[in-house]
Amino acid sequence: MGDGTQPTNPIRAKLATELLVNQLGDQVTVVDPNNTDEFMVGLDRLYLGAVHDKEYVQQTIDGTNPVWIGNKPRVGEAAFAMFRGTMRATDAIIDGHAKVAFNPQGAKHHARENFGAGFCAFNDMVYAAKAFQAAGLKPLYLDWDIHAGDGVYHMLKGSTVPTISIHVGATYPHDPELNVSLDERAELHDPTIDKYNFNLRRYDGDDAFIEAIDKTAKIIDEYRPDVILLAAGADGHTGDSNLGLLANYTAKGFEYAANMVASKALEYSQGRVLIGGAGGYQPLKETPETWALVVSTIYNQIKKGA
Ligand SMILES: [Zn+2]
């Protein structure tokens, strides 16, 4: 597991956290979601059950989910810890302890109400959106992982939370509501349900990404959110990828995108941004570096502008 070959390998989170602590020093508070008492775990489980089917939650955490039993019975325990990371981050923003909060193992954007998909068991961003709404805030969800944020899209479809996904259309999950499934640029937007989907081509690179980010800025202007939820997938980064799906983005594109988020958060959200790492399959270098770049850019811009 520690060699970086497993898709959600914790080494990515560890390295990204170290980079951020190096860059931002004592401005960073590191919270370990595993470091919590029985009472909190019980409470967390209750909230998890409010987002997902209760039987699915029970089986997944207990290691009796028939999908994972046998070879990966403990996957649910790890997934629960990842979910709790986003719960802590959400609480910190609602309580006012933090403006910018980052869970490198968060934004499990493919998970659905009663099943997991694409390395995602529990949909922490859907939880966060609902928790912010319950706190009286108006969230907006933006996802620039190379794969479409289909779980978030479907689970929030009946809500008023706008979701925006910028992805390579020809890749997983091949969902006709979000993906064109061909190598072409396309926009599958439906403003009547507050859902927006930008399809890029494979190998498109920074220019197409930046164009979609500019269009996203205009969508954010329409909604004026109180908090921005960001699935900051690093799997679009150019270079060798163990999934072999290249969007060809570079640090320039990611930095541009991060600056856009920071400026909109300053304009509408009092700087409130919740960031989840989502996908990233270059665990020893590009993924943690990209996450650290995005998070530190957003944090620094917000600190400067506040
Ligand atoms: Zn991805």
32-36, 91-95, 159-163, 185-189: lowest mean pLDDT where? Answer: 32-36
Q: Residues 65-79: pLDDT tens digits?
A: 887 766 666 788 889
Sign of CA dihedral 202, 205, 208, 209: positive
**Ligand 1 centre distance from Cα of residue 305 (Å):** 31
**In 3D, which of 248, 252, 220 has the Cα closest to residue 235?**
248
Question: Where does the pLDDT of residue 1 fall: very low under 50, low under 70, confident under 90, or very high at 90 and above?
Answer: very low
Contact, 298 vs 275, CB < 8 A? yes
**Ligand 1 centre distance from Cα of residue 278 (Å):** 6
**Ligand 1 centre distance from Cα of residue 136 (Å):** 30
Q: What is the pTM of this model?
A: 0.96
**Ligand 1 centre distance from Cα of residue 145 (Å):** 5
Does the pLDDT of residue 225 top 80, yes or no?
yes
Residues near ion ligand 1 (CB < 5 Å) are: 145-147, 233, 235, 279
Peptide bond into 173 cis (omega under 30): yes
**Ligand 1 centre distance from Cα of residue 232 (Å):** 9
**Ligand 1 centre distance from Cα of residue 146 (Å):** 5
**Ligand 1 centre distance from Cα of residue 299 (Å):** 23
**Ligand 1 centre distance from Cα of residue 143 (Å):** 10
Number of other residues whose CB lies within 10 A of the CB of residue 242: 13
Contact, 22 vs 14, CB < 8 A? no
State mean pLDDT over 15-34: 95
Does the pLDDT of residue 93 top 50, yes or no?
yes
State mean pLDDT over 195-220: 97
Q: What percent of the chain has pLDDT over 90?
A: 81
Q: Residues 31-60: pLDDT tens digits?
A: 998 888 899 889 999 999 999 999 999 999
Take residue 213 and report the two structure tokens written for it: 């980010």
Does the pLDDT of residue 265 top 70, yes or no?
yes
**Ligand 1 centre distance from Cα of residue 115 (Å):** 18
**Ligand 1 centre distance from Cα of residue 113 (Å):** 19
**Ligand 1 centre distance from Cα of residue 30 (Å):** 25
- Choose the CATH number for 98-305 among 3.20.20.140, 3.30.720.200, 3.40.800.20, 3.30.70.100: 3.40.800.20
d(CA 86, CA 161): 18
